[in-house]
A = this chain, B = another copy of it.
Amino acid sequence: MASIKDVARAAGVSVATVSRALSGRGNVSAAAQAAVQRAASDLGYVVSSSASGLASGRTRNIGVLVPVINHWFYASVLEGICTALMREGYDTTLYQLTKDSGQRHQIFSDFLQRQRVDAVIAVNVELSEQELVALHALNKPLVGVGGPLPGVPTLHVDDEAVSALGTNHLLSLGHVRVGYIGGSSETDLDFRVPSHRRIGYERALAEAGIDVDEQLCVSADFTMGQGYTVAKQLLGNPATRPTAIFAASDEMAIGAILAARDLGLQLPQDLSVVGVDDHELAELFGLTTIRQQPHQQGELAVAMLLKAIRGEAPARAHHLEHQLIVRSSTSRPATDA
């Protein structure tokens, strides 16, 4: 394991010059720069993260907090983060923030305290007051993605606008009985998203002069399986069934499509469905949806964070773009004739 001394010797300069040449901090003559570069690559020298971290206080490592990994949205954001960080020479250290309070406590009181990371990205995590305090007490740059976090600049789509758009798409096609599949109050606690989505849905209806029919609003946990289950309930009774459904996630929307098929309903003649996400499966099901781009959200979060680390800008919360993608799951309702 070559050390900085070896490089200094080989390059015929002092260790300080090596440090400067390799880190790009401080002035180094072109000649020295070249000599160092050459010696370093000859020796296969790479700066030790521990030594550098100890001396400088900078680790070139970012902590990422996620509630679950095995889920399209989180995995996509994580990929974006990881890709962007790597490009900048940063490592990504992953902390899964489950429901287990012991584990959570350990993360905030040990893992994040041991100075392994320069900053933290929190993806859609819901924190207790205490946890939030602990996070801020780190005194490190923080960026949120997804759910808003008090005091933390956060990137997320405008959930209310998203669902208003989806609902309006259906209303504009002529649907009047528009169902809603959202998050349960339980998942509400984690995401804060469903309630905003619900509000957007209700707002769109109100603007169209339509009353909310509680019978048409059901809750699931954002998965395809639950989407299927609740949609079957919603669609089972031909007398009360909606002609269209707005689902707060593509996975639930696809569950609803499968339920409709199993009930013998044809899309879009008998039922229109709109989702949210533009999940990788949306196309396969011809699902009309509102696209959000989690991968890109991750990359953006990294960009914001690095700015903060470099002291360039006071990161600000930010609404991300969303876009209606119309496919074959929506059309005008069948005329009752």
Contacts and interface: CB of A to CB of B under 8 A. Distances in A.
Interface of A: 1, 44, 46-51, 53-54, 59, 61, 68-72, 75-76, 78-79, 82-83, 86-87, 89, 91-96, 98, 103, 106-107, 109-111, 113-116, 223-225, 228, 255, 258, 261, 280-281, 283-284
Contact of A69 (B51, B69, B91, B224): B69
Contact of A70 (B47, B50, B76, B281): B76
A130 to B, nearest CB: 13
Given A86-B103, A224-B281, A79 B54 contact: no
Contacts of A106: 86
Nearest to A139: B1
Contacts of A47: 114
Contacts of A49: 50, 53, 114-116
B69 A96 contact: no
B54 A225 contact: no
A86 B91 CA distance: 18
Given A91-B111, A93-B94, 19 more contacts: A1-B115, A44-B113, A49-B53, A50-B54, A50-B116, A61-B116, A68-B79, A69-B69, A70-B72, A70-B79, A71-B75, A78-B94, A83-B98, A91-B116, A224-B281, A225-B280, A225-B283, A228-B284, A261-B261
Given A48-B115, A224-B281, A225-B281, A82 B96 contact: yes
24 contacts: A1-B115, A46-B109, A46-B114, A49-B115, A49-B116, A50-B50, A50-B51, A50-B53, A53-B53, A61-B93, A68-B79, A69-B69, A82-B96, A86-B111, A87-B103, A91-B93, A91-B111, A91-B116, A92-B93, A92-B95, A94-B94, A225-B280, A225-B281, A258-B284
A59 B50 contact: yes
Residue from A91, A95, A255 whose CB has the most chain B CB atoms within 10 Å = A91
A48 B49 CA distance: 13
A69 B79 contact: yes
A105 to B, nearest CB: 12
A54 B53 CA distance: 9
A228 B86 CA distance: 34
A48 B114 contact: yes
Nearest to A70: B75
Contacts of A87: 103
B103 A46 contact: no
A68 B93 CA distance: 16
A106 B223 CA distance: 37
Contact of A75 (B75, B223, B261): B75
